[in-house]
Structure 1
Amino acid sequence: MPSSLLPSRASAEGAPGAPGLPVPDAEQWISTTSSRIAPDPYTWMQAVHWAHDLGARTPVRSHGPRFGTTTVLLAQQLAQLNPCRPGVDFLARMLKVSTRTVKYHMALLRKAGLLAYRVKGTRVRHERARASEFARTIPSSFDQALGLRTAPSDTFIRAVVGVSEHGRTQLARLGKKAARTVLRQARRTKKPSFSASSDCTPMEGDSCTVSPTALTSSPSEDEPRNGESSSSPTRRGRTRKALNAVGRRYQLGLELVRQVPWLAGTPVARVAWAVRHLADAGWTAHEVIAVLALRAPSDRIHRPSGFLTARLVGAEKLFGTPAKRANLVAWWRDSRQASRERHAEWSGSWSAPRRNAVARLVREAFAASKPKPQLDELPQEPTDAELAEVRTLAWRQYLAGQPVLVTSAIAIAGQDSAEQFYGTDLVQRVVRLASASSHLTTGATR
């Protein structure tokens, strides 16, 4: 790259988004980044190769890997993802490197202003880990070095409206390197290729002589065929594979878990096993719900999958024909019980959130919603007799396995306040019981 296109040391030090220089963590988000969103993978790979050429000349890291060939190979994998939500293990398998190496080079792309967080990945206990989602961005130093003129845009933060003469040569050179990724995508997706006469000068909207809809052919006026044209390109749609017996069971089980309130949170595999005979007979979720509505619902269900199995015993023989099941569904939709269920609000035992950050937000929300008492309305301190009565009730709930008072106090006021009111011994016992095993629950009924 000519030295005239490289930013000077003084300008580079003043540009926080220059490649090779670390971008602050606060500017690595789509809402705070100074970069613009890349309109396509081809343009983004041009910026990646430019950052690679510049980073090889101006290294700033004293340890760890540099912006090199592995970084470019990683960017080629990211350019093929839509949306850009990669997993570290997936990228490590594709590049045949360690997960630590992938994390290092992902950090290099973020610090160079080429990636910005849309949603940061989470890792919550008892839940599946979620990968981070990124936006492919182009730093402002790339536009300045190549003489690209930009204007505000609602879609890309800034959109390119022109290019200087000295930047055309550099765009062509970088385009040859970026074309490798584009050609690889074209082979996989089998997109129609453009002719030589339809090429457009990069970043110059006025020099394009062919409409982007040139591939669409108009119907013939001599032989009208109701808008149908035999010369129009056709696309072969992917035929969806028919579900086998096991797939139908899981599909019916998933629909029941989503629609039946007391089955919420039940593993789909157990529900699929409970309704296996009905799924094999071609039953739908509405037909199963109608059978469940024949009997009054139970007030308390300890094991939802076992309760479901008991309710459906002999149902496939009693309603063996589609006509009988259709009459049953019609009765259920017109019944008063179904009407009450459609208009019933959610009700259930509230449990404190597991994550500490969410629990803190809940405590702050409770504190903000509680009206502040006036000086003359301050509650009086409880007497010794009242305090002893409340503690005795809390101990009885703990011995019964449902310390609702203590768990509610911990969730709302915190553990320190709960210990002052109910005693340190009782509160610590409840905390140990709740954290001893995931199979032991306190303060919640099913």
Structure 2
Amino acid sequence: MQHRTPACQLSRATRGDSRQNSTTDNGTQCPPIAPACQWLTTTTGRIATDGHSWMTAVHWAADPKAKRYTSTRTHGPRTMNATTIVIAQECANLKTCRPGIAYLARKAKCSERTVEYHLGMLREAGLLAYQSKGGRVAQGMDEASVYERIIPAAFDEALGIRTIGEGVQQRPVGIAEEGRKLIGKLAKKAARKVRRSRPRTPVSGGKRCTLMEGGTSPAFPAASSIPPSETGLASGSSSHPTPKKATSGPRKLNRVGRRYQLATELITNVPWLQRASAARISWIARHCADAGWTWREVQAAAEEHSPIDPAEARRPSGLLAHRLKGVHVLYAAPASRRLMVTAWEDSRAQEHFRHAEYDQAAGPVTVTETALEAMRTIHAVLQPTAAGEDCTEHEEGALDIETLTRAEVLEHRAFAAHDPEYVSGLLAALGDQDARRLLTHRLVDQALTLLRLNAPAPANAF
């Protein structure tokens, strides 16, 4: 029974029995609760007896018209909305309120950060209280927090609910007459299942071309249309109301595309990488590709200290990984890479390796006029001179190796590989040092060995 005058009504009982509390105030606000009071041991509310009664308190706090709760955060949602109701419904259906963030995000079809925002609002409104706070446990596993569903004291004061008991163990025993209508509306809301509404944007602002609407024009179908003027038709305007963007330009490669491009260039141009996999090479040379290296710079860095024979490269990807270890840090600047490539191209080891390849690949060549002239000069020197004959003419016609071109040097070497007598003639005409500079040590030693054994060299022996 209510008191006749409001002055006799108590706002809140001072004893455990709150039967005298019958005041109803629909404008009661739900002030944010500090983090220290969001625990079960420090909350001022009471534990909800079931999920339905807890959802009535959630709908009361989330009423958009009453604006009973406003978040204190400067980022994220400021008020409760349909997402808050959906998350609260999932928490109300749990026997033990221990929801995982990923589970709620999957159920509500939102991000995990959004779930954390709305759980924080439910705690600030006094609707959830920590029983135990989760976090990182052993072996890197995340443990979910255990909540207790709480009905805040502001809800009991607003609807005039009378309770008995102490602390969180209070139980409702009655409600004021003025609060019955509101609690009935909240109970109907709590019984309905709320789903998040997804915004749907129409394809176009005008009417759709359907049978119901008749056409694509927003005008009345029976209205008369004015045809365009002849000047407008004959103007020949080339502009389109919705011009298309030009997409004819080349696509820009991303980081992965640049790595595969460098790997393809290496496999195509480097002989000892032709049997390698593009995926492996792109991963091995990823640091060089990210730094903007060219395939020539990668080859120079790999062959900087010693050349690589394609026949000896049994595992090209492993060999490249060994040679490129740390080179992207050593040659970080483009200027240092250019100097490294120049030094590699001019190195004596690389030059000797290229010459050896040229010597092995050299086949029968046509004797040019330069070689014939050198042969005539050598035979003239070897012939015995007449008594009293001056040898100045032969000395003047002696071969000068400094003036020979690279093609002429290769011709001399190819001819010497087929005729050991030609090597002995050059030794007599030029001397041992210059002859070895011209023909290499290998050809000179082979010719001397054949001459020492008195065995004629076959035409295809070399």
Task: Normalising by structure 2, report the TM-score.
Answer: 0.35
Bigger Rg over Cα: 2
